[in-house]
Structure 1
Amino acid sequence: MVLDWTKFGETLTVEMVLYRMMAAVILGAIIGIDREVKNRPAGMRTYVLVCVGATLIALVEQQTIYYVSHLGNQQITMSIGRITATIVSGVSFLGAGTIVRSERKIKGLTTAASLWCTACLGVAIGAGYVTMALIAGIIVIVVLKFLQKVIPINTYKKLEVQFIHRTETLNYLNHYFEEMNVVILDVDFHAEVVKTGNTIYTNIYSLSLKDKKGYTEIIGALSEYPNVMAVRTTNV
């Protein structure tokens, strides 16, 4: 199999421009749809615009190199890749806007990284390396959709549980975690006597879970237990 190694400095036809633009739209849309389905900050239109914009800049640079190389003036020099290099750094600001920090928890890193990759795909398409961009695009899609399923990674979560009747409730919690195959890595706890004279206990569990779905089920099940007053996630 021979890759389409297009030389910098070739003249572009309308057909070539349309072909590369359409490839940018398709790749950007496919990656963007995956992010939009997962309700991420950047969706399909954002990814398509980033990919098309990067493609356009690469096309402009390629045409600029072509015209400079055919002027025959030795005093004019052209630094190949300088224009497209600004895309790599420029898209970083756009990616930074998708990163959200809330309660010591950072979200949006994967969206920012995929935006940056999409811009790189656009640069490759605009430069004429469409086959290379398609291969890289398939890898990006596989990473976003399937990698976490193929390589399972235990997630570490912290769960704060407020409860009464210490002995009875602790027995229930330990039994439930054992039944759900949840590993308790650490427990922080404190007790507080309220005005009614009752003692409210608070345990902060560091848990190792196989998947996030199990984490949601745990919160629902614990909240239904009569002695549990509150259950919430925490990053403390």
Structure 2
Amino acid sequence: MVENDIVIMVVRLVLAAILGGFIGLERELHHHPAGFRTHLLVSVGSSLIMLLAFYGFQDYIAENKEVVTFDPSRLAAYVVSGIGFLGAGTILVQGYTVRGLTTAASIWVVAGIGLTVGAGMYSAAIIATVIVVLSLFLLGKVTFRFGTRERKNELSIFVDEQGSQLNELIKIFETHAIKIHSMKSEKQNIYNENPMIEYRLVVEYIEETSLRIAVDALHKISFVKKVAIEKESNETTHI
């Protein structure tokens, strides 16, 4: 291995670290599980494997030209498929909310950027990094709406701990075309009352009347004791 090859490796590994860390910085700022260091390491590791494919077997191939046929892209293919396991670890399911899909996708893209840098395609890697960073920073603030604008609100539903069935509550929202964006539950021990469970939901709906009808239907369920709607002005209405 000549000195020029070492310089090439250093440049590619450093550039991969910069580009991967740049993308990870956005994830770090938004407090996601995989942040700056994770993205940097994935990018550097991918670049290193690509460099290994190019330079790691040169001597062996030179000594066995007649019997060895070597394809550098095979190692890259293993990186692309194997990185899915790391990305899957960032996906969290919390109740009815799935988080981490964007982070998993960014890790997958960073692996590709690292491979691209390792292959010496600097322009493509830099352009891809710019596109990814812009999409994470800018598109994350954009909500796409087609047709009627949906509204979002918070609900607190208090139910008896004994005999309560969550699926009945969910079915009412589904019947009235109300989406459950997220859900949390907490046990409430109120003095002189039976233990209750409080379900805190963030719901999305189109018509205000559909929410009112759904709330009325909730009150008809025997184990539902109280429903509170959190308004946009942070005022709570108990109905």
Q: TM-score, normalised by structure 1?
A: 0.66
Corresponding residue number in structure 2 for 1:160: 155
AA partner of residue 37 (structure 1): L
Corresponding residue number in structure 1 for 2:78: 86
Q: Equivalents in 2 of 1:112, 1:90: separation in Å?
A: 13
Secondary structure of the residue that 2:144 maps to in structure 1?
coil
- Out of 225, 228, 238, the residue aligned to residue 228 of structure 1 is 238
Q: Equivalents in 2 of 1:148, 1:37: separation in Å?
A: 13
Corresponding residue number in structure 1 for 2:34: 42
1:184 and 2:175 matched? no
Higher relative contact order (CA 8 A, sep 6+): 1
Q: How does 1:2-21 map to 2 (within 5 A)?
A: 13-21=5-13
AA partner of residue 50 (structure 1): V
Q: Equivalents in 2 of 1:74, 1:102: separation in Å?
A: 56
Following TM superposition, the consecutive aligned residue runs of length 4 or more in structure 1 with deviations greater than 6 angstroms are none
AA partner of residue 47 (structure 1): H
Percent of aligned pairs sharing the same letter: 32
Q: Equivalents in 1 of 2:144, 2:56: separation in Å?
A: 47
Q: Which moved more, 1:89-98 or 1:58-67?
A: 58-67
Quote how far apart the aligned CAs of 1:55 are: 0.5
- Out of 92, 103, 106, the residue aligned to residue 111 of structure 1 is 103
Quote how far apart the aligned CAs of 1:100 are: 0.2
Asked if 2 retains the 8 angstrom alpha-carbon contact of 1:24 and 1:51, the reply is yes
Relative distance call for 1:121 and 1:12 in structure 2 (3 A) is farther
Asked if 1 retains the 8 angstrom alpha-carbon contact of 2:24 and 2:34, the reply is yes
1:146 and 2:131 matched? no
Q: TM-score, normalised by structure 2?
A: 0.66
Q: For the aligned residues, what is the CA RMSD?
A: 3.2
AA partner of residue 184 (structure 1): E
Q: Which runs of 5+ in 2 are unaligned?
A: 159-204
Q: Which runs of 5+ in 1 are unaligned?
A: 1-9, 164-181, 205-217, 230-236
Secondary structure of the residue that 1:13 maps to in structure 2?
helix
